[in-house]
Structure 1
Amino acid sequence: MRYRTVIIPPKEINETNSDIKLWDFTGEYTGSSNVLGLVVFSVVQGIAIAQMGKVGKPLQDFYTALGEAMMLITNWVIWLSPFGVFFLVTSKVLEAESFAVMVGQMGMYFMTVLVGLILHGFIVVPLIYVICVKKMPIKFIANMGQAILTAFATGSSSATLSVSMGCLEEKNGIDVRVSRFVMPIGATINMDGTALYEAVAVIFISQVRHMTLSLTQIISVSITATMASIGAASIPQAGLVTMVMVLDTVGLPAEDVSLIFAVDWLLDRFRTTVNVLGDAIGAGVVAHLSQKELAQLPSIN
């Protein structure tokens, strides 16, 4: 059970009672699963399986097979999703009291996510590069242009992996031992753009549903979005799958994901671009900090 605050508007909204001070605030308990606890348990169990060695191999094989099965099912869903998205978006348009208001809300949501991704991908992450490497990242990012365009076109970190490693090794001079270690890991777990998008999306959906999130709930959403993005597959629109987990954290129904379907396909391109750029800059930082260690190791042709 979870406790949440609910805003109840007046039955009739007009010029005399449109003031938010006249709205009623109440609380209620809602039934939902403890997703954050499930994520933490999964992480702890993964560490335990790794420590068990050969004894934990059967359990590891089971989860590997289960993951492959879920990936196959997800691919089926992705192929069928255009039809489902069309009908879901159509139903939301028909349910809307004002089409202009709905378009305005979606526009503000789209711009908020886009501005957040730009600030993170082209200011915060490059600033980390400047602090660690002591160089301006302009040339480094320009050399990653082909990988950035591929990420935007495909919407998949995995599909961009070979191009990203090629740009790092051939244009930025990153050691292959670094690029071929950091980039596959980054494509799997470094989903900073997805985490940012999921947190903003949940706050947007809660506002559409006239639900006020407390500071504790916002922190919980941020943590859950970060953890869920780590488990998101590096395929187009995989963030929508983990979005359900984040929505459950604040007691919102899973079907509310349909509220953002209309613009998710485009935002997915932008957040994948930020994910790939973050992976590349991470590889650049690791290569700089590991220069002495790499020099002591045998060279690789």
Structure 2
Amino acid sequence: MIAIGYYIFTTIVATVVGIILVISIRPGDVISNGAITVKSLDATPSQSTRDVFLDLARNIFPENIVQATFETSGTVYVKMDKPVDRRTVIQKNGNRSSNNDTDPNTDGRWTPTSVYRPGMNTLGILCFFVIFGVILGRHGEKGKIVLQFFVTLNDITIQMVWIVMWYSPVGIMFLIIGKVLSVEDMASTARQLVVYLTTIIAGAIIHVLILLPLLYFVLTKKNPFRIFRGIPEAVVTALAIASSSATLPVTIRCCEENLKINNAITRFVLPLGATINMDGTAIFYVVSVVYIAQMHAISLHFFEMILLSLCTVLTSVGAAGIPNAAIVTLIVILSSVGLPTESISILLAVDWFLGRLRTIANITGDCLTAAVLDHFFPQADVDVEMRPERPLCTSEDENHMAELV
């Protein structure tokens, strides 16, 4: 529980760092060219803080979990010239109302209406399955059947994804080519991407080289940079293969042999961190989402930033430790906050580098966490394989066997 709590805390810190940097630097405001379609401004009233808060509450507790996989709740303003049954209100973009009442007092006024619009309700799905998983775990033996079903379903889905991945290089190539051909000013677009990269790199440096070492020093009163001197091989491996899971054996060996961390700590904390500790991924998520919003001149309200932070923390905890997995789940976060997903193609050109940067940040955080827990639990039980094995046959067993013979 301490390890999980520590991981979630550092992920929240990484998310806050990313939000502060992207709002301060504003990489999406560097240029404004024909490559990006700016959201047009009309006379339609914008959402109020109350509307955003109510949308957040409605999305956390979806009415229908199946519907939440392809629609999300949102508030729009509809100008009604006469009393209209809200069940028949169809927005220009295909949204449909979720209210079932008729409001006779909307003549000529802008009326807030809760509608369902295309896009996955990520927050509602995550909250539903967190509760589902907790209750399933309390069912013990009876719940193992359901658990095995989802494990098998996950294996099948991964095999299907691997089939699609054989085609993905061709698809990504055409996505990038199409986006490049639509850019009118290549130099300005390149400068914008450089500022975007600089923002993410600055966030990773601040989090990994300043905040995490400072937290380690406050908790242990030890030099945090000795950890960095013990894991260069893991960092180089992460830079080469961009996968926390694939780097895991090297990370464990560096922590046990170079840093002398207890075997019981490394064999539990590091595999757990490769699954749920994604600080670098959290920074990437929040910077990328706000960057795309800035490119489209879409302002995010305070509660929308809270929703973004919740989605970032929950999604980064559940992100797979495989190469370039974050760029896929970024689409889910964009849909959850109502942002266009087509602009993600421009990020594919630089994600090969960002994936390696995210992996380095992730494994460094894992090693620092293992060092913190090793400081507080130096006498933790060693792994089973390190315990002296009981002889297969003792002298008493031999005497008993002789008597039977």
TM-score (norm 1): 0.87
> By how many angstroms is 1:76 displaced?
3.4
CA contact (8 A) 2:262 2:378 kept: no
Match of 1:217 in 2: 304
Match of 1:117 in 2: 204
Structure 1 residue 90 and structure 2 residue 173: aligned?
A: no
Identical aligned residues as a percent: 37
Cα distance in 2 between the residues matched to 1:67 and 1:298: 30
Amino acid at match of 1:168: C
Cα distance in 2 between the residues matched to 1:73 and 1:225: 26
CA contact (8 A) 2:227 2:367 kept: no
Secondary structure in 2 aligned to 1:135? Answer: coil
> By how many angstroms is 1:255 displaced?
3.0
The count of residues paired between Structure 1 and Structure 2 equals: 280
Amino acid at match of 1:258: S
Cα distance in 2 between the residues matched to 1:100 and 1:300: 62
Match of 1:7 in 2: none
Q: Deviations over 1:39-94 (max 9, x none)?
A: 11111111111111111111111111122223223333444332222111111111
The one of 325, 344, 361 equivalent to 1:238 is 325
Secondary structure in 1 aligned to 2:299? Answer: coil
> By how many angstroms is 1:97 displaced?
2.8
Match of 1:81 in 2: 168
Cα distance in 2 between the residues matched to 1:289 and 1:218: 35
The one of 219, 228, 246 equivalent to 1:159 is 246
The one of 329, 343, 354 equivalent to 1:256 is 343
> By how many angstroms is 1:257 displaced?
2.1
> By how many angstroms is 1:298 displaced?
12
Secondary structure in 2 aligned to 1:291? Answer: coil
Amino acid at match of 1:123: I
The structure richer in helix per residue is: 1
Q: Which has the larger radius of gyration?
A: 2
The one of 225, 235, 240 equivalent to 1:148 is 235
1:242–1:140 Cα change, 3 Å: same
Secondary structure in 1 aligned to 2:320? Answer: coil
1:82–1:299 Cα change, 3 Å: closer
Amino acid at match of 1:284: A
Match of 2:278 in 1: 191
Match of 2:155 in 1: 68
Aligned-residue Cα RMSD (Å) equals 2.3
Cα distance in 2 between the residues matched to 1:224 and 1:89: 27
Match of 2:128 in 1: 41
Cα distance in 1 between the residues matched to 2:283 and 2:351: 13
1:274–1:285 Cα change, 3 Å: same
Structure 2: 5+ residue stretches without partners: 1-31, 33-40, 47-74, 77-94, 96-116, 389-405
CA contact (8 A) 2:264 2:380 kept: no
Match of 2:192 in 1: 105
Cα distance in 2 between the residues matched to 1:259 and 1:298: 48
Secondary structure in 2 aligned to 1:243? Answer: helix
1:77–1:277 Cα change, 3 Å: farther
Secondary structure in 2 aligned to 1:235? Answer: coil
1:80–1:65 Cα change, 3 Å: same
Match of 1:229 in 2: 316
